[in-house]
Chain A
Amino acid sequence: MNQIEGINIAVLAPVLIINLILIIVAVIDLVRVENTRGPKWLWALIILFVNLIGPILYFIVGRRNN
């Protein structure tokens, strides 16, 4: 992909970092939690590869409370 000109990395960096935090938190939770709705490996894929919506979907749908 071409270089996108005029995009200031300092502006985007915080957003990318908190996005990364969200993914990491979701992965940590997935590892710790005993069982999920649906197979764990599937949630791992969703968290890692569905940008932004993946981790959120996991917390709302995939996580079984208690």
Chain B
Amino acid sequence: MMSQWITLLQKELVEMWRNFKWLWVPITFILLGVKEPLTSYYMQPILDALGGLPKGAVIKLPEPSAAEVLVEGLSSYTSIGVLIIVLTTMGIIAGERKSGVAAMILVKPVSFISYVTAKWMGGLILLVFSFFIGYLATWYYTGILFEWISFGDFLHSFLLYSLWLGLILTFTVFCSSLFLVPGTAGFISIATVLIYTLISGTLTKWMKWSPSMLTDYANQLLAGQSLPTAANPAAAITVTATIILLTLSVVVFRKKELAA
């Protein structure tokens, strides 16, 4: 059972190497984050060089703090980053089922649990790896151009953001096993994440333990405040929700495959 699972995971990782995911996803995450400290730092020289301003009109941009820059960099992971995660994950099960690969693999005695969880794990490893590399680069650039945020705070905020991004990935896997068409899975995932973030951002009072608040808590930590007490229950709920969604993915997938 275990060795079978490892084989499936390896197959998944090799497949991601073949279509260059191991290169382009981390690089995209680096560029996404690093763009923030660079543009904030070089805004003044760029404006000067463009020279569009009339003489005498001095625009002094307020210099943002290191934490502000880092938080801004992180926000591109929760926007464009999420979009990339969903778009690259939405076909993880739906696509293969459409092309008949899933049916072919499942003819061999491969359990449904192994099949879905190995795929999920492959996607998660790629996501966490890419996000870590990208965020590390952003942290480093913020350090050399602005001020150094402690490495401990970096790791802590990395963990909190990873939990939230991991949940989004898991939800996309769930949608992918629920809908036959990758496009539908992707659309539903993005719409749900968007609406959910909006709701829990508005109803902050009642949504203190909401998974999407983890990023807010991480931002507060980076800004030098102490981590709110609600962060731990929020993290626990996120992990629980991830496990439940993964279990549901397996259940739904099994049901659909047996019906087919």
Binding site for B on A (CB under 8 A): 1-7, 11-12, 15, 18-19, 21-22, 25-26, 29, 52, 55-56, 59-60, 63, 65-66
From B23, B99, B145, A66 is in contact (CB under 8 Å) with: B99
Bound-complex Cα distance A29 to B91 (A)? 19
**A22-B28, A56-B28 are contacts. A15–B34 as well, Cβ < 8 Å?**
yes
Q: How large is the interface on B (under 10, 10 to 19, 20 to 34, 35 or more residues)?
A: 20 to 34
B49–A5 contact, CB under 8 A? yes
Kindly identify which residue among B24, B87, B145 contacts A11, using a CB–CB cutoff of 8 Å: B145
Q: Is the CB of B24 within 8 A of A15?
A: no
How far apart are A2's CB and chain B's nearest CB, in angstroms? 5
A1 neighbours in B (Cβ, 8 Å)? 49
Instruction: Select one of B20, B38, B101 contacting A15, CB under 8 A.
Output: B38
B15 to chain A, nearest CB (A): 9
Knowing A29-B19, A55-B24, A66-B99, say if A60 contacts B88 (CB, 8 Å): yes
Closest A-B pairs by Cβ, 6 of them? A4-B49, A6-B45, A22-B27, A2-B49, A59-B24, A60-B87
**What residues of chain A lie closer than 8 Å to B31, measured between beta carbons?**
15, 18-19, 22, 52
Q: Is the CB of B145 within 8 A of A18?
A: no
Tell me the dominant secondary structure on chain B's binding face: helix
Q: How far is the CA of A45 from the CA of B45 in the complex (A)?
A: 31
Whether B84 sits at the interface, judged by CB under 8 Å, is: yes
Q: Would you call B116 an interface residue if the criterion is a C-beta within 8 Å of the partner chain's C-beta atoms?
A: no
Give CA–CA (A3, B49) in the complex, Å.
7
Question: What does the 1/0 interface line of B59-95 toward A look like (CB < 8 Å)?
Answer: 0000000000000000000000000100110010001
Q: Find the residue from A2, A25, A29, A56 having the highest chain B CB count within 10 A.
A: A56
Contacts of A11 in B (CB 8 A): 38, 141, 144-145
Q: Which residues of B102-129 have CB atoms within 8 Å of chain A's CB atoms?
A: none
Per the bound structure, the CA–CA distance linking A29 and B87 in Å amounts to 19
Chain B residues whose CB sits within 8 angstroms of the CB of A29 once the complex forms: 19-20
